[in-house]
Amino acid sequence: MKFLRNLLASILGFFIALFLLFMLFALIASAFGDGNKVTVKPNSVLELDLSIPIKDYAPKSNDPIEEFLDLADEKLGLNAIINAIENAKTDKNIKGISIKNYTIFGGVAQIQAIRNKVEEFKESGKFVYAFADVYDQKNYYLSSVADSLFLNPIGAINFKGLNAEILYYKDFEDKYGIKMEVIRHGKYKSAVEPYLTNKMSDANREQTTSFLQSIWSEILEDVSKSRNITTDKLNLIADNSLGRNAVLSKKNNLIDTAIYEDVYSQKLKNAVGKTYKTITINDYISSGKGRISSIEKNKIAVIFAQGQIMYGKGNEDVIGQGIMIKALKKARKDKNIKAIVLRVNSPGGDALASDIIWRELELTKKEKPLVVSMGNVAASGGYYIACNANKIFAEPTTITGSIGVFGAVPNIHQLATNMGINAEQVSTNKHPNYSAFEPITKEFYEVTKEGVEFIYKTFVNRVATGRNMTFEQVDKIAQGRVWTGKEALNLGLVDALGGLEDAVKEAAKLADITKYRVRNYPHYKKDFKDAFKGFPFAKASKNEILKEALGDETFKLYDQVQQLKKMKGIQARMPFLYEIK
């Protein structure tokens, strides 16, 4: 007995010591972090380097150990980037902006929002320069806003127009005896088309061509205005790759001068008028410039819904009804919050979770004004949760709509037969069951189809009520079809074109307030066990290891199959297989 007491005491002592050591480590890490706080030095140039992933909302980790050991994932928040550029306009230490990227990990709508903010920055009278060894198309779109644009003499500009690639699996399914049983509503609901055919349908080609042309026209108009090149000439440049070297780029006015980076540095020095320091956008945000300081009592809540919609709690990368309901209730109960903006960046997902979030938003709208701001994509389930707002804003290049639903279940009957496997079932009742080892029955198909039709009608009715349209009007532009923000405005699916700032201003107007500060939601908290996931031995995630082993293209196939496996129930999801290049 004494031995057991001593053993338990030793175990308890070990865990107490471990906890105290952990807390001491956290305090040391926190103190160390405070000692290395970023400051903005005089005569600084803000370097707009967007070569790390951009999310609409990327709150800094509150884990001092993670920060101390540099274990947090690198990411930039669009809201913080916009705020930083806004602050830079009046920051006496910032003399100008230097855009320096090789590539940009962000969507077209995000880039357009940043570009518009840089355009505003130029009105302050400060300079904007851009340099790259090579410009990809997204980087050139952003950089073209600069007063002066420079390229390495041996560099190139990949200005070529847009294209989208979709992988089709029907022949693969037939060859190996694996297939997806699909039940859908909407002739444009192309999320599942690759499992039904080995080529693109006319309907899907029509919608893809339409939204690509709409996005491309926005890029052309913006570049045309900044570089004083007609859109016809820009299309000619894209058709004939007339930016494929520095000589052609200069000849066609895509750049101002071809120079090396050391000469570019000298030009920055000349623009500042003296020796200068550069500060990256990430460090500028870390210095506290990623937020707009205010002591106003009135607040506008901005609730970020980013990622796929999945039934459950949710997190920073997944929209779950749990975390969304919690955030909405907090915003409703706070008497100082006068209006709410829902920022949506989602291709949709689980239909049930979408409807639960829709319901909570409906309750919220009865108490406080609700405005939606759409990011890169707010389609299918992403549009479902947006459709009942008082006002909806979208960027011209936002991908939205896709009002349609589907159900999909894997079937390996043929594969099992080929391998000599036979599955037998025993049931107590006649309810149509489904087995992946047996062909789908007519009864199961009909029951599932009924569910799909019910969700589709509910979806259309939600949109019709929210947008003050008839069922027939919505159904005509629904059918799973994807639209851009510009197209959606003409169709009545959104109210205005603009970014998050515009949506916040509209929310304040609806709440009848002129002075306010912004409060961001949700608040993400890690479980204790999650704090250790970023340690060196665990830093390389399973996906990173697989991507390294399989290569980008093969991993893409694997990742798409994994997404399908996560789907449960009927889906209100956009064609996630689009890859716009």
Contacts of 60 (CB under 8 A, 6+ apart): 67, 72, 286
**Token pair 């160390």 is at which residue?**
32
CA distances for 325 relative to 307, 329, 365, 435, 503, angstroms: 16, 6, 13, 35, 21
Helix, strand, coil content of the chain in percent (nearest 5): 45, 20, 35
Active site residue 98: no
Q: Alpha helix (H) ranges present in 378-484? A: 381-384, 413-418, 442-467, 471-477
Coil, strand or helix at 484: strand
* Cα–Cα dist 472/141, whole Å: 39
Catalytic residue, from 55, 95, 138, 189: name it.
189
Q: For residue 362, with 0-12 CB atoms within 10 Å meaning exposed, 13-18 middle and 19 or more buried, which class applies?
A: middle
Cβ contact 323:313 at 8 Å: yes
* Cα–Cα dist 409/179, whole Å: 9
Q: Alpha helix (H) ranges present in 132-230? A: 137-143, 170-176, 202-227
* Cα–Cα dist 138/252, whole Å: 19
CA distances for 133 relative to 105, 127, 245, 260, angstroms: 17, 21, 11, 8
Amino acid residing at 283: D
411, HSE (Cβ side, Cα atoms, 13 Å): 19
Q: For residue 210, with 0-12 CB atoms within 10 Å meaning exposed, 13-18 middle and 19 or more buried, which class applies?
A: middle
351, HSE (Cβ side, Cα atoms, 13 Å): 24
Q: Would you give the end-to-end CA distance of the chain in angstroms?
A: 70
Contacts of 522 (CB under 8 A, 6+ apart): 303, 304, 323, 324, 326, 327
Catalytic residue, from 289, 380, 391, 486: name it.
380
Active site residue 241: no
DSSP string spanning 249-279? HHHTTS-SEE--HHHHHHHHHHHHTS--EEE
Number of separate helices (H) and strands (E) present in the chain? 21, 24
Beta bridge partner(s), residue 406: 184, 571
Cα 392–chain centre separation: 18
Cβ contact 366:97 at 8 Å: no
Residues annotated catalytic, as ranges? 189, 380
